């Protein structure tokens, strides 16, 4: 069942007021891939009345006030992407498209959506109940941070939004605990933690709410409707990436039972054509194993799991994911299950027992013509600033991929994701990347992104300070938009 988003739906449920109203910068797709739907469904399963207002009109009270005030709190999220990242390119040009908005035009998500929505609530509801911030925008901006779009260090978003609480990271359990504390009139301190199966076992519609469906098609639905999340978190900790900052450095994986149950459910949808478009997480091949020391004592404060080398304490084993993929593809009605999330090839090569077998099965059964990998660069000095492994594992992986592809008699390719204008990267580095790609990869990569300094990452710190925070050395940082674009064009042509 969808959570209500109109007064008519609330009346039908016999609610005068909701306990919690969630406000989001995305449209309301009821799917386990959408944070606001997950939080709403978890709260509803815990017995709370939850309603959703998606992409409210920020110039009037017509949307924000249509459900009245909640009993317990307003929950605000900028949506699945930080609103500044969603609204602007790496060169600060306004984006025209938004995959999470009906019709696809980028007209419904305000800049700094969390602050705008919070202020809108305060404007129309004086002395209202607490305002709680969540989602990636609040999470990455929870402490003082460099903001690329205004080119200054901003204070915690809690102050600018004049909010009461901020739930960061993956906050399902915390938000239920918060609700219970507020209902009981208790002080919500020291609330933390989660478990993953329960979330995915909830009853999602896997569709856009009918109220928003009238406004147009939402592009994101096409990729998430028939995809499976197998795990969360990433111990890759690349310096430019916000996933570890938001989802954490510890992998939380779902049980085989929960994933197979969801796959069977998908196979029964009338519009399911037999294809599961992805079974993965932030990095596909981190399912089913974790560092035992980390699980007991938490991540090491003074070292990383994969950089500069893979930590020997981490026992990499793709066996569990192999078994899982076999079981998913044997479900009646499932013709193919693809692994569309990116692979860490250094992990794959380090698994002497199951790594090659895993890649072989990926090549034979789980690739839709192209497999994505993200080397990001070829030059050691730049890779070091990114916190990524060197180029040798990439070349070894590429050779193995094409060997298995040839053995299988298939025509398949690798798609390489690269970054231009990362702190420390010069035009010469991009020229070297271009010649490495032609010489070793025999391709001119098309997927080249200009580095975007998202809040709270190490690479953003480098961008802001022009210094390597690990060595304190001065660092070349390309800040000129035209020259950033030129760096990209060196590789893409």
Site residues, ligand SF4 (CB under 6 A): 291, 293-294, 299-300, 303-305, 311, 313-314
Half-sphere exposure of 276 (CA within 13 A, CB side): 33
Taking a C-beta distance cutoff of 8 angstroms, is the pair 310, 316 a contact? yes
Taking a C-beta distance cutoff of 8 angstroms, is the pair 251, 290 a contact? yes
Q: Which residue(s) pair with 280 in the sheet? A: 229
User: Shortest approach of ligand SF4 to residue 318 CB, angstroms?
Assistant: 16
Identity of the residue, 59 or 352, whose beta carbon is nearer to ligand SF4 in the bound complex: 352
Identity of the residue, 190 or 297, whose beta carbon is nearer to ligand SF4 in the bound complex: 297
User: Shortest approach of ligand SF4 to residue 143 CB, angstroms?
Assistant: 23
Taking a C-beta distance cutoff of 8 angstroms, is the pair 95, 62 a contact? no
Half-sphere exposure of 198 (CA within 13 A, CB side): 12
User: Shortest approach of ligand SF4 to residue 244 CB, angstroms?
Assistant: 12
- Indicate the length of the chain as a whole number: 493
Identity of the residue, 283 or 360, whose beta carbon is nearer to ligand SF4 in the bound complex: 283
The owner of tokens 């938009």 is 481
Smallest Cα–Cα separation from 363: which of 313, 413, 303?
413
User: Shortest approach of ligand SF4 to residue 162 CB, angstroms?
Assistant: 38
Identity of the residue, 127 or 302, whose beta carbon is nearer to ligand SF4 in the bound complex: 302
Provide the 3-class DSSP secondary structure of residue 270: coil
End-to-end CA distance of the chain: 49
**Residue 375, phi then psi, degrees to nearest 5:** -65, -30
Task: Note the Cα 364 to chain centre separation in Å.
Answer: 27
User: Shortest approach of ligand SF4 to residue 48 CB, angstroms?
Assistant: 36
User: Shortest approach of ligand SF4 to residue 299 CB, angstroms?
Assistant: 5
Phi/psi region, residue 472 (left: phi>0; alpha: psi -120 to 50; beta: rest), is left
User: Shortest approach of ligand SF4 to residue 250 CB, angstroms?
Assistant: 8
User: Shortest approach of ligand SF4 to residue 303 CB, angstroms?
Assistant: 5
Provide the 3-class DSSP secondary structure of residue 264: helix
**Tokens coding 78:** 């900028």
E strands of 126-277, at which residues?
A: 131-134, 145-147, 152-154, 165-166, 207-208, 227-229, 231-232, 252-253, 275-276
User: Shortest approach of ligand SF4 to residue 243 CB, angstroms?
Assistant: 16
User: Shortest approach of ligand SF4 to residue 171 CB, angstroms?
Assistant: 23
Taking a C-beta distance cutoff of 8 angstroms, is the pair 256, 197 a contact? no
SS percent in the chain: helix, strand, coil, step 5 = 35, 15, 50
Strand 252-253 relative to strand 231-232, pairing: antiparallel
Cα separation, 71 vs 18, in Å, equals: 6
Smallest Cα–Cα separation from 378: which of 445, 318, 315?
445
């Amino acid at each position: 069942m969808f959570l209500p988003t109109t007064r008519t739906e609330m009346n039908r449920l016999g609610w005068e007021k909701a306990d919690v109203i969630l406000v989001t910068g995305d449209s309301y797709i009821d799917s386990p891939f959408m944070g606001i739907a997950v939080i709403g469904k978890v709260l509803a399963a815990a017995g709370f009345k939850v309603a959703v207002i998606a992409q409210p009109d920020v110039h009037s009270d017509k949307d924000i006030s249509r459900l009245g005030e909640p009993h317990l709190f307003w929950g605000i999220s900028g949506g699945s992407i930080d609103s500044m990242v969603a609204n602007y390119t790496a060169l600060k040009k306004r984006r025209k498209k938004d995959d999470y908005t009906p019709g696809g035009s980028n007209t419904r998500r305000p800049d700094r959506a969390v602050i705008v929505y919070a202020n809108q609530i305060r404007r129309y509801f004086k002395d209202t109940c607490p305002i709680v911030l969540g989602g990636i925008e609040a999470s990455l901006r929870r402490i003082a941070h460099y903001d690329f779009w205004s080119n200054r260090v901003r204070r915690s978003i809690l102050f600018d939004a004049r909010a009461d609480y901020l739930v960061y990271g993956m906050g399902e359990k915390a938000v239920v605990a918060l609700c219970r504390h507020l209902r009981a009139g208790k002080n919500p301190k020291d609330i933390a933690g989660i478990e993953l199966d329960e979330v995915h076992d909830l009853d999602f519609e896997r569709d856009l709410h009918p109220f928003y469906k009238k406004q147009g098609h939402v592009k994101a639905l096409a990729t998430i409707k028939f995809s499976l999340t197998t795990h969360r978190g990433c111990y890759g900790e690349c310096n430019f990436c916000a996933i570890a900052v938001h989802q954490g450095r510890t992998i939380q994986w779902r049980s085989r039972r929960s994933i197979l149950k969801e796959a069977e459910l998908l196979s029964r949808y009338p519009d399911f054509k037999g294809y599961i478009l992805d079974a993965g997480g932030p990095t596909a091949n981190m399912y089913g194993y974790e560092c035992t020391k980390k699980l007991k004592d938490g991540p090491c404060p003074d070292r990383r799991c994969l950089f500069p080398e893979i930590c020997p304490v981490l026992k990499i084993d793709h066996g569990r994911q192999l078994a899982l993929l076999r079981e998913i593809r044997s479900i009646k009605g499932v013709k193919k299950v693809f692994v569309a999330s990116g692979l860490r090839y250094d992990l794959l090569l380090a698994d002497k027992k199951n790594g090659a077998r895993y890649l072989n099965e990926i090549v034979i059964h789980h690739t839709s013509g192209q497999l994505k990998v993200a080397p990001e660069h070829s030059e050691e000095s730049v890779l070091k600033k990114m916190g990524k492994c060197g180029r040798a594992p990439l070349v070894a992986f590429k050779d193995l991929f094409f060997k298995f592809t040839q053995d299988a008699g298939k025509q398949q390719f690798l798609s390489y994701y690269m970054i231009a204008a990362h702190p420390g990267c010069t035009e010469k580095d991009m020229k070297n990347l271009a010649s490495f790609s032609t010489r070793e990869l025999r391709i001119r990569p098309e997927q080249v992104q200009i580095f975007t300094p998202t809040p709270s990452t190490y690479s953003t710190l480098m961008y802001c300070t022009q210094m390597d925070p690990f060595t304190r050395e001065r660092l070349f940082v390309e800040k000129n938009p035209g020259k950033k674009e030129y760096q990209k064009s060196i590789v893409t042509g």
